[in-house]
Amino acid sequence: MNEKKLKRTLLIIGAIVMAFVCLFPFAWMIIISLTKNATFLGSPYVHFELTLNNYRTVVSDPTLHFLAYFKNSVIIATMVTLVTVSISAMGAYAVSRIRFRGRLMVPIFVLGVSMFPQISLVGYLFKFIEKLGWINTYKALFFPYVAWTMPLALWILLSYFSQLPKDLDEAALMDGASRIQALYKVVLPLSAPALFSTALLVFIAAFNEFMFALLFTTDYRARTVPVGIALFQGVHGEVPWGNIMAASTISTIPLVVLALIFQRYVVSGLTAGALKGE
């Protein structure tokens, strides 16, 4: 069959191109992080020389504060994940299980909020956080991040909770369990996969956030990895690409590994969050 052959050929070519396109910038980041001189492509006299020095510098040079940024990012993203997931699980439970006035408005309201441009908050938010004296503290990022990641979390959990048969927790209610018990003993254990994928997506979103972090932090006390890497300056004025790419690699590898190990959860979370209406 001629068409089958054509299709196979197209598929193989497509797959190779696709793998290449997806991988090369990631690979280039790692290559630059491992070279002694990042400008090696630019001059016939400079050659690629393998070195781990960039990693050593990034981790050990105290003036770069990379480890502090990394620590800040991990702590903030973890706290945000815990709080966002618990709060939105409660909200999603109420919306999916209890009949109350305005119930159908909640998801619309939260989804609408998720479309707000970040820039439309910062004019006021910056003044507010400055007034509270929160600049350069975890609080300055924690509170806005919880609010900012809430719509995504609520959306995924809501789509999952509404699929769980209501008979399950109604049976528990009949047996004298309270609503809280029904949530903790019936719904949450059954929703472990959805909770996990929500947590994963919230963590990654909080880890990657840039605009708030750029505005609400000015030094290593609360500055996060994305801001650190965006504003990375060399001591001598030139852009220290080797160091930047080493810091980038260190920060990216855990995220990529997480995403690949838990691929199924990432995919179900992303699609549940977006394709609810179908």
Partner 1 sequence: MGKIEYREEKFAYGMLSPMLLFVIAFIIIPVLGTLWISLHRDVTFIPTHPFVGLRNYAMILRQGEFWRALLVTVSFSLVSVTLETLIGLTFALILNEEIRGRGIMRAIVLIPWAVPTIISARTWQVMYNYSYGLFNWVLEHVGLGAVNWFGTPLSAFFAVVFADVWKTAPFMTLLLLAGLQAIPSDTYEAAIIDGAGMFQRFWHVTLPLLKPVLIVAITLRTIDALRVFDIIYVLTGGGPGGATTSISLLAFNYYNLGDYGMGSAISILTFLTVLSFTVVYLKVGRFQEGLK
Distance CA 136, CA 217 (A): 4
- Select from 79, 94, 164, 177 the one that contacts partner 1 (CB under 8 A): 94
By CB under 8 A, residue 132 contacts partner 1:
no
Least Å distance, CB 66 to partner 1, is 13
Least Å distance, CB 101 to partner 1, is 7
Least Å distance, CB 235 to partner 1, is 18
Q: What are the angstrom distances between the C-alpha of 124 and each of 49, 119, 129, 200?
A: 49, 10, 9, 30
| Residues from 45 through 84 that contact partner 1 (CB under 8 A) | none
**Residue of 75, 154, 147 lying closest to 111 (CA atoms):** 154
**Residue of 260, 216, 249, 257 lying closest to 124 (CA atoms):** 216
- Select from 44, 62, 123, 165 the one that contacts partner 1 (CB under 8 A): 123
By CB under 8 A, residue 230 contacts partner 1:
yes
Q: Which stretch binds partner 1 (CB under 8 A): 47-55, 63-71, 187-195, 204-212?
A: 204-212
Contact 87, 193 (CB under 8 A): no
By CB under 8 A, residue 108 contacts partner 1:
yes
By CB under 8 A, residue 271 contacts partner 1:
yes
SS3 35: strand
CA angle (79, 80, 85) in 5-degree steps: 110
| Residues from 133 through 152 that contact partner 1 (CB under 8 A) | 143-144, 146-148, 150-151
CA angle (159, 145, 154) in 5-degree steps: 10
Least Å distance, CB 71 to partner 1, is 16
